[in-house]
Every structure is written in C-alpha cells, then in structure tokens.
C-alpha cells in the first residue's frame, strides 16, 4: 500500500491493508475495508480537524489472550517434539514427526515474539459531535498513541480560535438500556444448524474426504458464535445474564469437543469394521489415536457428550429467557 496519494499521508494501516488512516490537508480519512482476508468493499469516513472532539484509547485483554493462544500450543508442540525425538528409532516415523512438531512450535514462537514486540492491544475511537467511531487499524497502544499525537497537532491547529463555551448543564446520563443479543441468537442457530447439516451429510455419504473441510468449517462457525458471545458479555450486561452467558460460553466448546470426539469414535468403529471385512482403504491411520479408548469406555463417552449437550441446551434456554426479561425491563 502506498504511503502517500494526492494530498494524503498514511498514518496507520491494519492487517492485510483492510483498514487505514490517512492525514489530509483539512481532514483525516479513515478507510474501512469489509471482507475475509482481503477487503471486498471499502467505506470511507472523513473527520474534519476542526470538528474532532477527542481521541480515546482503551487497552483490551486481547493481548494476554493472544499470548496464551500462541504460547500454550507452542509449549505443547515443543513437548511433543521432544517426546517424539526421545522415543524415535529406526522402526517408527517419530523423528520426522518430531521435526514437524518442532517447525510448528518455532512458527508459533515467531508469532509470539512479533506479538510481544508490537505491544499491548487497544480499542481506539475518534469522537465528533455526530458520534464516536472506532478506528480498526489502530489496534496497538503504541501505534494508537503515535496516531493520536499526529491528529492532536492537526486538530489543535484547526481549533486554535475556539474559546471555552458553556456546556449545557445536562442531567447525568441514564443507565443504559440492555441491548438483547438477537443477532447473537440468530448467529448461534445458523452456525449450529450449518454444522449439524454438514455432519449429517458426512454421516449419509459415509465419506471421510469432506470431513477435512467440514472439520475446519465447524470450529470456525463455533468460534464466531463464541467470539460474539464474549464480545457481548464484555459490554454492558446485567449480572444474571452475564453469569449465564459465561457458563454458556464455557459449555459450548466443551460440548463441541465431546461431540467431535463422539463422531470421530463413530467413524473409527465404522472404518474398523470395514477393515475387518478386508476393505482396507487406508482410512484407519489418522483415526488410530481413537484406539486408546477401550470399547468399554464408549458408553461413558456417549453419556458425557449427551450430558454436556443437554446442559448446553438448558443453559442456552435459560440465557435466552434472561436476555428477553432483561431487555423487557
């Protein structure tokens, strides 16, 4: 992406050039891209220097969450790599497997170092009389401070003539209304329904090939729902809705994990029975780890999955009721 065009100079840019902030002669230009991986639509917002009231920066917990997301898998992969190397011999493939784990751990370690070097994460907004707008390309405190300082110089120059005025003596703002998460419920339903249909398709066709793709789609759909849920709960949410929401957020992935385990086990049993008939088509290898579950453990696994699914459904129902009653108040 260019650093300058026409009268504009780039102040900040986001990942993959999806959004950026530019300094113009008399206004700042925010370019917001919408799309997946790269922008499909760009929307523009112009902030007149004379009208900017404030720039605000608030740190977020994403920084620590990302540290955990990079560090924990990196440590786990490192441990796996060490275990693979220590148990490798001429008769197994653990040495190349260990090398693969080590490369993955190194990749995550590089990501972690880059993340640590970039510094804490934040939300940055520009406020005008018309409203407060989030600048999505300013996600790091250091970059946000630098951009705010540059904007500050321009805004103070443009507002040098302004004198203190009498602000209207308004009543303190009323307690905000709780916004029900209607879109969240819809998103959860769509993600669950789509995931269920895909699994059903796999079950009907009994083909493991599409499983690779769908297995990617289902966690993505669930992560979207979970992300929306956490985001909603971290805003203004009444206490009872919040506790139910966090329970639901914890139960969701656990239920998903057990269901995936169940399906994998089911496929292992199918593939195993197919192999016993002499139909060896090489499907067993990637399911072999399932063999650690003894046949006697299967009922426990299915019972646990059913219990989690039931608990998830019950808490989901209670959560929706609490949301509806809180919104009605």
Partner 1 sequence: MPATIRCPKCQTGEVPAPDPFAGPGTGRGHCPLCRREAEVFAFPALASGPEPAAKARPAREGESACFHCPEKAAESACDGCGALICPDCASRWGAESLCLSCLHRRREDKGDPAFARRYILWDGVALACVTYPIFLTGVVAYCAWFLGFFGGPAALYLAIRHWKAPRGLVPRGPGRMLVAAALSVVWIAAALGLVGFIVYAIWFQTRS
- Binding residues among 18-37 for partner 1 as defined by CB under 8 A: 20, 22, 25-27, 29, 31, 33, 35-36
52 binds partner 1 (CB under 8 A): yes
User: In this structure, how many other beta carbons lie within 10 angstroms of the beta carbon of residue 214?
Assistant: 16
- The H or E element that residue 27 is part of is strand 27-34
User: In this structure, how many other beta carbons lie within 10 angstroms of the beta carbon of residue 98?
Assistant: 19
Q: Return the structure tokens found at 83.
A: 């275990």
Tell me whether strands 27-34 and 122-128 are parallel, antiparallel or unpaired.
unpaired
CB of 47 to partner 1, least distance (A): 11
- Binding residues among 56-95 for partner 1 as defined by CB under 8 A: 56-60
Nearest Cα to Cα of residue 48 among 28, 62, 33, 73: 28
Gap between the Cα atoms of 326 and 243, Å rounded: 13
- Binding residues among 108-137 for partner 1 as defined by CB under 8 A: 122-125, 127-129, 131-132, 134
* # chain residues binding partner 1, by CB under 8 A: 74
Please select the residue that binds partner 1; options are 199, 214, 246, 257, rule is CB under 8 A.
Answer: 214
Nearest Cα to Cα of residue 83 among 73, 93, 96, 98: 98
What is the three-class DSSP state of 165? Answer: coil
In this structure, the chain runs to a length of: 329
- Binding residues among 169-198 for partner 1 as defined by CB under 8 A: 169-170, 173, 176
The window from 52-60, 251-259, 264-272, 302-310 that contacts partner 1 (CB under 8 A) reads 52-60
User: In this structure, how many other beta carbons lie within 10 angstroms of the beta carbon of residue 20?
Assistant: 22
CB of 229 to partner 1, least distance (A): 16
Contact between 198 and 217 under an 8 Å Cβ cutoff? The reply is: yes
- Is 120 exposed, middle or buried, given 0-12, 13-18 or 19+ CB atoms closer than 10 A? middle
CB of 218 to partner 1, least distance (A): 11
Please select the residue that binds partner 1; options are 92, 235, 303, 314, rule is CB under 8 A.
Answer: 235
The window from 166-174, 240-248, 258-266, 280-288 that contacts partner 1 (CB under 8 A) reads 166-174
Gap between the Cα atoms of 142 and 120, Å rounded: 8
Please select the residue that binds partner 1; options are 117, 167, 204, 292, rule is CB under 8 A.
Answer: 167
CB of 310 to partner 1, least distance (A): 31
Comparing CB distances to partner 1, the nearer of 77 and 147 is 147
Q: Return the structure tokens found at 141.
A: 């405190």
Comparing CB distances to partner 1, the nearer of 60 and 269 is 60
Gap between the Cα atoms of 318 and 320, Å rounded: 6
The window from 99-107, 212-220, 247-255, 259-267 that contacts partner 1 (CB under 8 A) reads 212-220
User: In this structure, how many other beta carbons lie within 10 angstroms of the beta carbon of residue 273?
Assistant: 10
The window from 161-169, 189-197, 248-256, 279-287 that contacts partner 1 (CB under 8 A) reads 161-169
Q: Return the structure tokens found at 324.
A: 């509806």
- Binding residues among 267-286 for partner 1 as defined by CB under 8 A: none
Give the x-and-dash track for 280-319 against partner 1 (CB under 8 A): ----------------------------------------
């Amino acid at each position: 992406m260019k650093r300058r065009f026409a009268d504009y100079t780039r102040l900040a840019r986001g990942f993959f050039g999806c959004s950026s902030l530019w300094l113009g002669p008399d206004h700042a230009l925010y370019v917001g891209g919408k799309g997946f991986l790269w922008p499909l639509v760009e929307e523009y917002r112009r902030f007149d220097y004379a009208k900017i009231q404030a720039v605000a920066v608030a740190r977020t917990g994403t920084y620590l969450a990302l540290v955990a997301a990079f560090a924990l898998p990196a440590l786990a992969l490192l441990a796996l790599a060490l275990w693979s190397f220590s148990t490798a011999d001429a008769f197994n493939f653990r040495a190349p497997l260990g090398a693969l784990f080590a490369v993955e751990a190194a990749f995550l370690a590089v990501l972690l170092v880059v993340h640590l070097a970039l510094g804490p994460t934040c939300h940055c907004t520009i406020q005008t009389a018309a409203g407060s707008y989030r600048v999505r390309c300013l996600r790091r405190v250091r970059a946000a401070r630098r951009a705010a300082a540059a904007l500050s110089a321009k805004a103070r120059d443009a507002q040098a003539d302004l004198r203190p005025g009498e602000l209207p003596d308004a009543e303190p703002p009323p307690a905000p209304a709780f916004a029900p998460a209607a879109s969240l419920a819809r998103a959860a339903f769509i993600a669950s329904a789509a995931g269920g249909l895909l699994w059903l398709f796999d079950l009907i066709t009994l083909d493991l090939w599409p499983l690779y793709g769908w297995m990617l789609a289902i966690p993505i759909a669930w992560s979207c729902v979970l992300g929306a849920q956490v985001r909603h709960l971290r805003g203004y949410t009444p206490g009872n809705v919040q506790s139910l929401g966090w329970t639901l957020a914890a139960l969701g992935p656990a239920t998903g994990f057990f269901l995936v385990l169940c399906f994998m086990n089911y496929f292992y049993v199918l593939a195993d029975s197919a192999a016993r008939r002499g139909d060896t088509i090489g499907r067993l290898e990637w399911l072999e780890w399932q063999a650690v579950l003894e046949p006697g453990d299967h009922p426990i696994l299915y019972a646990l999955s059913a219990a989690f699914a039931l608990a998830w459904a019950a808490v989901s129902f209670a959560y929706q009721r609490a949301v509806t009653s809180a919104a009605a108040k």
